[in-house]
Amino acid sequence: MALLEIRDLSTDITLRRTVVHALDRVSLEVSAGQTLGIVGESGCGKTMTAMSIERLLPPGGQIVGGSVRFDGRELTALPEREMCEVRGGEIGMIFQDPATSLNAVQPVGSQVAEPLRLHRGVSRAQARTQVIDMFARVGIPSPARRYDDYPHQLSGGQRQRVMIAMALICHPKLLIADEPTTALDVTIQKQVLELIDDLRAEIGMAVILVTHDLGVIAGSADRVAVMYAGRIVETAGAVELFANPRHRYTEALFAALPDRVAGTAQRLYSIPGLPPDLTDPPSACRFAPRCRHAVARCRTETPDLSGDHHAFACFVPRPAGPAAPVASAVPAAGARAVGEAGWVAPTTYVPADGTALLSVSDLAKDFPVRTGLIAQRNAGAVSAVAGVTFRLDRGEAVGLVGESGCGKTTLARLIVGLEQPSRGEILFRGRRVDRLRGTARRLERRHVQLMFQDSYASLDPRMRVRAILREPLEIQGVGTSRDRDRRVDELLDAVGLPRRSAERYPHEFSGGQRQRIGLARALALQPGLIVADEPVSALDVSVQAQILNLMKDLQQDRELSYLFISHDLAVVRYLTDRIAVMYLGRIVETGPSAAVYSAPWHPYTKGLIDAIPVADPVQEAAKPRAAVPGEPPSALNPPSGCRFRTRCPRAQDLCAEQEPPLANPIGPASRLVACHFPLTSSASATVGDTSDERDMT
């Protein structure tokens, strides 16, 4: 008998003038000790399914039909008082964003202790003991000291562990994890997923894992349900679904994965259009308007979900057998050719003498740490960036990868002029820009633009898109008012948005559309370099494919250069020409993207690659656990010698005594590594000779 049994669940959200039909006859089952993965694009109903189970619906939301039976009880008819006992006591929930889910003014320990005291009636002292024990089990370092810390004092991975501890503290029978790893590094993500799996096996609980990441599903789920527009369109065992997807929507999701076209010249497949408006959903197949294989029947009839162990709702299913790559038929996302009216190649001039577009030499940034409220004392400095050297040429894309806290974003802020370096130099077009001030700095800054990670937070919610895109033109005094309006229309054309979008506000767009607006704003002044800070980390795989294809098109058409910051090496491999791997403020490996990805030389790089979730359950099962154990040490007091040695399986005495230089251990080439014992064919060689040390060329 299933622990959780959902039958024909329908949920509506009543708005002021209309009703959103968020779920339509959803049926699922989860047994004790089983992990069910629910996957699909944003807005497909994944989170709404989870919230309907717990009856935590938004204002106006109500279950209008169907049944939710949990451990023999009908939850839809349970009185609210009894439902409160189920929430937290028998069903635990990990929310998507721990930063907003945790109370900022309450210590994390007391927040985790709260469900224990409410549902189990334990004393304050007993709750503290059990919470500290749970903190230790979920891998929070110094658990007794962390009990009294506030959320802002913890890293992102530690906050997510606190959320897991809160969900598990009462040993629930069912755990619902809603995008538990979306904003985490691949190494922390792997640790969190392994932790959930270990605890599931230990206490026999069932798990519902809600995510848009197919790699996460492949490595964690026993069974998978694919959702689209409020309905289940396919469900099967994880191994069967990934080896033999039948619904055309599932096939399209797989085709949009960057690793499916890695090492080829193919574009990522991008699902055309958008999911339907659920205030007025189609009466036929809801995926038909976006499906390349749709026939007349798909537009007039609704397919039923049929099948026993592998069920799918499709009139023209994909033939049975292993999935093959799907070539993208989507055009260049509206990008206009160089030289066409209104758009020309970037005005960024680079001398023909081999001068790099961007050259960074021995760049460092230290942030002082002070203690005391009145008489502040210097308590040291955080070494955020520590002696970074690289170059980037016109029309080139370089990927910068590493865990959170390694210095990627600080380096980006230094390059765009939002921070001043502690030492080193930044040359743009051969000119020392880190020393420019006033008008000269403002004029030079137009050639380097920043694309932010959070497209919603970076756009002023009170400004229409036209005003947002006009703003940099007005600040720089570019053209007349009519010229600026014309440029706004051209920018919207370039990023594939309709011109009428200019009169709307940011909240009226989807996440992918807002990221396009952010890219358009970065393009407004026709820069030569765009620094993109995690621009696709929180996007669905289908939207991610659209943005990556668009960025690649614009790079080719306009000779744009990118410094693309990410913790996802699969995405970086697709978009960039070269990769630089950062760890605790230093670059530890550089080289051509395909070469670094296929044969890493640094143990840290290998750990990052091993931690990347792959959309293949068989490969995921064969991967090592804890590819990079532990968390990075504090940048306030970094380790001596090699900064990675405290987590490195190959570390020896030499690693603590001597810092390895960034050099080539096996002769002159385009690859460099900072490691005494690199993972090369001549691994016994050390990197003591710096004669081959050079920039990223």
**Per-residue pLDDT reduced to its tens digit, 161-178:** 898 899 989 999 999 998
d(CA 48, CA 176): 12
Q: Counting every residue, how long is the chain?
A: 697
Give the phi and the psi of residue 266 in degrees, each rounded to 5: -75, 150
Single-letter code of the amino acid located at 610? D
CB within 8 Å of 676: residues ≥ 6 apart? 642, 652, 654, 655, 658, 660, 686, 687, 688
> Domain extents for the chain?
4-245
d(CA 157, CA 647): 17
CATH of domain 4-245: 3.40.50.300
Sheet holding 397-401, edge to edge: 448-451, 529-533, 561-566, 397-401, 578-583, 586-592, 672-673
Looking up tokens 């919230």 gives: 51
CB within 8 Å of 39: residues ≥ 6 apart? 46, 211, 212, 213, 214, 217, 224, 225, 226, 227, 253
Cα torsion angle, 173, 97, 270, 465, sign: positive
Residue 341: the pLDDT is 36
Report the Cα 525 to chain-centroid distance in Å: 28
Nearest to 228 by CA among 286, 303, 279, 291: 286
Low-confidence ranges of the chain (pLDDT < 50): 329-346, 682-697
Per the structure block, which two tokens stand in for 204?
A: 């026999």
Nearest to 595 by CA among 261, 262, 265: 262
Q: Is the pTM of this model over 0.75?
A: yes
